Structure 1
């Protein structure tokens, strides 16, 4: 964090670091917060904020405070639906929060804020999303809802766990999935469409246009990995733990409307031992030039 850069992070911390009968012991969230704080993010998109709403959002505020006193927000968890809601946190050093902008969807809400850079007039629409894990059709519906953020020429930035795959397979650096070798047959049903085709529909909806043209949003990892020649941006993000679901894939994305691209300087997928210790998802970081953002959002 500096006067010249704005750092954006997106991270699914497994079960919010809680001990849910898996490899977590209930204390991992403190390690996750310390590591994320070391990156000094200005905007944090979080997924799997399990239990963060409870006790007056005690856990959510604890994380925001640990990250340097960020402003926290999450949509209210929906009764009888996902127990792992997304949320987001933003620094008020550079940003002014105008309003909340959540969406209740069939399985999991999307958490949103509308903000402005200080001294700038144009609104920036932020959304943290975690697409449904078990239903390709529902993921497509959630992706189409996200396109609304960019309607009428609006500027938007999204951090998400897509639970699906990029549609530009030729540009990816991850190992293709041999579904015949995937031991988890439930995972096969959750991540494929007709005839066992890997689900890339959300990526197509969000980032592809007609006849090969650009889409509503730009996948910042893909843009950095190709246009900016930063191959680390195309590294796999999940699963870093399981071995029965095929090789890790790039399913965690930062997306932005194309008008923000001139300000983007770097995207990094962080899968260090510190990250692998606390989650099965890598941390995705993007860095923007603040002077360029101010010019774009003036």
Structure 2
């Protein structure tokens, strides 16, 4: 690895549909997913739908971790959903201080390791960084809002966070998005359940649910949404490309429901946000892969504030 590569922290966010398990019992997609991720050499991965990864001594979880050269953490599944969230990270870059799991009554508990970023000399940052893999509720807007409120606690005063996942809802700055919100009157959007799951009532009308993004990155902006920041501040409009649904034809146009968020202190460190939806990704999952890159030195500096003299 070159010195320049050592000074970049590469972050991946990916919902691998049912962890690559097909109904015919094969897991070929899962192994292709490992290859796709490994090709991007991530230092940190926020994974959703680690379906059945806890079975047989969490064999599939460690299989993925070994393929990527990372250390894994996974929240538990629930009686309603065997699709937990997980975080895989480089122990060369991060020192792990603690591991938390947050349950908000939704389907997927939040996997939340607390870490310190090491500088190139191995010195851990002065303050901790809260990492989280998120998969908001697919069917209930009220639960999604509650889950978003829970995530806000990771950005309370004195805390710094970086988290990503499948938000199952839409960006709230609709006028700045390159992809319009779903057109619920479109005959092609024939999935009636999808309409019920993804809309809220506002002023007597059913509209796309943008509430979680408003909670997280609106108002006083507890967090910054990486795609919006990369597009509007870094001149990377492709960061606003859609992330789902790569397979379904009955849910209307593709939308940007997979997102990455971070505390404002980390903004100077973001270098890029890429939405990867090529053929290799689409063969594996119905969700695009997000790849974000951060300047390691700037990130470490943000997590190691200078002492007041």
Q: Scaled by the length of structure 2, what TM-score is found?
A: 0.91
Q: Indicate conservation of the 8 Å contact 2:174/2:180, yes or no.
A: no
Confirm whether residue 273 of structure 1 aligns to residue 279 of structure 2: yes
* Residue 20 (structure 1) shift: 3.0
Q: Indicate conservation of the 8 Å contact 2:14/2:287, yes or no.
A: yes
Confirm whether residue 192 of structure 1 aligns to residue 199 of structure 2: yes
The secondary structure found in structure 2 opposite 1:167 is coil
Q: Cα deviation per residue 1:111-133 (whole Å; 9 max; x = unaligned)?
A: 01000012122100000010000
Confirm whether residue 96 of structure 1 aligns to residue 95 of structure 2: yes
Aligned 1:68-147 pairs, distance under 5 A: 68=69, 70-78=70-78, 80-107=79-106, 108-118=108-118, 119=123, 120-147=125-152
* Residue 135 (structure 1) shift: 0.2
The secondary structure found in structure 2 opposite 1:179 is coil
Residues of 2 paired with 1:14 and 1:25: CA distance?
Answer: 13
Deviates more, 1:176-185 or 1:138-147: 176-185
Deviates more, 1:285-294 or 1:161-170: 285-294
RMSD: 1.2
- 4+ residue runs of structure 1 moved beyond 2 angstroms? none
* Residue 243 (structure 1) shift: 0.8
The secondary structure found in structure 1 opposite 2:185 is helix
Equivalent residue for 2:233, pick from 227, 230, 234? 227
Q: Cα deviation per residue 1:3-54 (whole Å; 9 max; x = unaligned)?
A: 1100001000000000136xx9421010010110010000100001100111
Instruction: Name the structure 1 match of 2:33.
Output: 32
Instruction: Name the structure 2 match of 1:205.
Output: 215
Instruction: Name the structure 2 match of 1:20.
Output: 23
Q: Indicate conservation of the 8 Å contact 2:181/2:208, yes or no.
A: no
Residues of 2 paired with 1:202 and 1:254: CA distance?
Answer: 13
Residues of 2 paired with 1:94 and 1:87: CA distance?
Answer: 18
How many residue pairs match? The answer is 290
The secondary structure found in structure 1 opposite 2:161 is strand
Gaps of 5+ in 1: none
Equivalent residue for 2:299, pick from 278, 293, 298? 293
Residues of 2 paired with 1:146 and 1:20: CA distance?
Answer: 33
The secondary structure found in structure 2 opposite 1:19 is coil
Residues of 2 paired with 1:215 and 1:230: CA distance?
Answer: 21
Gaps of 5+ in 2: 305-309
The secondary structure found in structure 1 opposite 2:249 is coil
Q: Scaled by the length of structure 1, what TM-score is found?
A: 0.95
